[in-house]
Amino acid sequence: MRKKRWFTGLASLVLVTGVLAGCSGNGNGNANASPEGSLPASAPASSGDPVKLTMWGGVPPESGPQAVVDAWNAEHPDIQVEYVRFVNDDEGNLKLDTAMMTGQNVDLFVNYTISQVSKRVEAGLALDLGKFTDYNIDEKMGPDAQNFQIDGKYYGVPTTKSPFFVALNKNALDAAGLEVPKDWTWDELREYAKQLKQDGGYGFIQHTEPYVDPIDSVLAKEGYTKADGTSNLDHPLVKKWLETLNAMMTEDKSTPPLGEQLTSKMPVEQEFLSGKAPMLNIGAWLLRSSNNFTDFPRDFKIAFAPVPRLADNAADFVTRGGLGDYISINTKSKHQDAAWEFLKWYADGGMAPMAAGGRLPASKDADQDAALDSLLGDKADTYDVDSLMYVMFNNPAPTYVRSLPQEVMDARAQEYEKYFLGTQSVDDTIAAMVKRHNEYIAQNQ
């Protein structure tokens, strides 16, 4: 089974890591090695000493996390928290997983996708929070929290509102006589991109990670499998998504071709904030950069629109977003009760400084006004606040959290990349995605 193979692979990595550490002697091979006779760093503190917790997350410390732990540490001398940053990519997540498997100091950690959570639960790394009965996650975070349950259990707390949206150069829209949309389709975005592109530039840009969001917005509602249990990746709107984005790359030249984006490692946020591209598909973390006028000076106002839909009927549309930053407690932590106290405080408003980086607290008991003040700071007049409030709080579209197994996401990405790179037809691409998805289904029944 795939689950067993993933765990076995990680366990093998842990074994190799342990052997290498053992071969390195008492020098630099093991950062957590303790002098002979001393307690390891993760051991329970002696009477009178503060408990020391380590929290791992993907946000740079200066973008909110350090202010959060500084505030906690000032108020709680008996429990002191250190923040460790890992980069939220494959290499960074492997570093976190290895640290937990090898018993390094990880008490709390942030998951950024449900697939990461699932793997860590399978590996026995995330604590079942059902052991704690003094905090009602459903009541605090609302019904969207249930998207993060695994077999009906919470192995973490979703702490943030995580809207995705299209950021717009409001000045460019005004000059073109275009309105800020509140409900639109990808065909309409395509027309905007053609009208807004400048000579030698693009009208619309995005990271490669949300490329596939349009089909997930369809299949999260319609189902990734059909009634007979076979793949639904040949849904008609999958082909529409492939052909629409490819046409924007090749015919309209209004968005970067995939090959160019991969080879140039295009800094899409910088391209948008410099005014070179007037539309950017992104999430709320954009504000971490757009509030930073030192590194990203700009002379235009930013407006916000919901991510467009493929479906003709708005009632059939769900959008990526909802909640995020799912924080778990390591099953190997020797300070689980202390970690739980910090996590509750964090979720109910202690995380307010994170809003400066676009991370608004999800808890109903958090001070949203304080979070909004932190979100906008002294830059409120550089945003179209009405459209910001709409995408953050008032967009009526239901949301989904991507829950497709990582193996399926990787397989379909490998196939649609061939199409966007011009080495495979659209029909062959769909057939290959379906074939590989069906193989995964058969292997995991």
Average pLDDT over all residues of the chain: 87
Give the position of tokens 């995005």.
206
* Residue 85 · residue 59 · CB < 8 Å: yes
Angle value at C-alpha 168, between 167 and 173, nearest 5 degrees = 170
Query: Are β-strands 279-283 and 205-206 bridged in parallel, bridged antiparallel, or unpaired?
Result: parallel
- DSSP helix/strand/coil, 398: coil
Q: How far apart are CA 85 and CA 104, in angstroms?
A: 14
Query: Mean per-residue pLDDT for 298-304?
Result: 97
Helix (H) or strand (E) holding 167, with range, is strand 164-169
Structure tokens at 166: 């299209």
pLDDT, residue 14, reads 39
pLDDT over 80 at 418, yes or no: yes
Give the position of tokens 């079942």.
128
Q: By C-alpha distance, which of 361, 358, 341, 330 is closest to 81?
A: 341
Kindly indicate the confidence band of residue 22, based on its pLDDT and cuts at 50, 70 and 90: very low
Give the position of tokens 């990595």.
13
Could you read off the pLDDT of 144-167 as tens digits, one per residue? 899 899 999 999 999 998 889 999
Q: What is each CA distance from 388 to 46, 136, 407, in whole angstroms?
A: 49, 29, 35
Q: By C-alpha distance, which of 316, 356, 300 is closest to 167?
A: 300
Could you read off the pLDDT of 311-344 as tens digits, one per residue? 888 887 888 888 899 999 999 999 999 999 999 9
pLDDT, residue 30, reads 32
Longest CA pairwise span in the chain (Å): 73
* Residue 323 · residue 158 · CB < 8 Å: yes
pLDDT, residue 47, reads 57
Structure tokens at 380: 């409120």
* Residue 72 · residue 64 · CB < 8 Å: no
Could you read off the pLDDT of 337-352 as tens digits, one per residue? 999 999 999 999 999 8
Q: Name the amino acid, one letter, at 2.
A: R
pLDDT, residue 392, reads 85
Structure tokens at 37: 């006779």
Q: By C-alpha distance, which of 157, 221, 101 is closest to 362?
A: 157
Q: Which of 8-12, 90-94, 314-318 has the highest mean pLDDT?
A: 90-94
Quick one: CA dihedral 138, 141, 146, 151, positive or negative? negative
Q: By C-alpha distance, which of 333, 276, 321, 290 is closest to 53?
A: 333
End-to-end alpha carbon distance in the chain: 9
- DSSP helix/strand/coil, 57: strand
pLDDT, residue 13, reads 40
Q: What is each CA distance from 144 to 121, 158, 172, 400, in whole angstroms?
A: 20, 9, 35, 8
Q: Name the amino acid, one letter, at 158.
A: P
**pTM for the whole structure:** 0.75
- DSSP helix/strand/coil, 219: helix
Q: How far apart are CA 208 and CA 267, in angstroms?
A: 11
Give the percent of the chain with pLDDT over 90.
Answer: 70
